[in-house]
Amino acid sequence: MPTIETIYLGELRTEATHLLSGSKLITDAPTDNHGKGASFSPTDLVAAALGSCMVTVMGIASRTHHFNIDGTKLVITKIMTRENPRRIEEIVIELTFPRGDYPDKVKKIIEFTVKNCPVALSLHPDVRQTVTIKYC
């Protein structure tokens, strides 16, 4: 069963519809690649997917192991190669947890999750994933 339907709208823009929910998102080519940069680019979505996947799987682990990650913030930087072929070279993610009182066991769960979420495991090994974790 299909998951997503995408329509090319012209002018380097697409509209993707999540078929189960009907939610829609627009992509636009970035300004450094002939676009207007008016929305997420497809490669921005890859970087966002990595961060969202990490924190979603952490949320599942937090339910299982009874700790709270509500309010955790991710700052994500996508770095593209300068040579051809154009591709994502590195995704840098800074995770900031609002509480700093996590026991070592919980920190190990968080660190494991960062490295083993489905998107992290699906990306090509040439895409560097640099993650910094801050416990405030």
113: containing domain: 42-135
Per-residue pLDDT, 100: 77
Residues 95 and 117 in one domain: yes
Residues 66 and 131 in one domain: yes
The CATH number given to whatever domain includes residue 93 is 3.30.300.20
**Number of independent structural domains in the chain:** 2
Per-residue pLDDT, 101: 87
Q: Which is more confident, 101 or 43?
A: 43
Per-residue pLDDT, 94: 98
* Stated pTM of the model: 0.94
Residues 71 and 20 in one domain: no
How far from chain centre, in Å, is Cα 29? 18
Residues 25 and 52 in one domain: no
- Respond yes or no on whether the N-terminal peptide bond of residue 85 is cis (omega within 30° of 0): yes
Tens of pLDDT along 59-118? 999 999 999 999 999 999 999 998 889 999 999 999 999 887 899 999 999 999 999 999
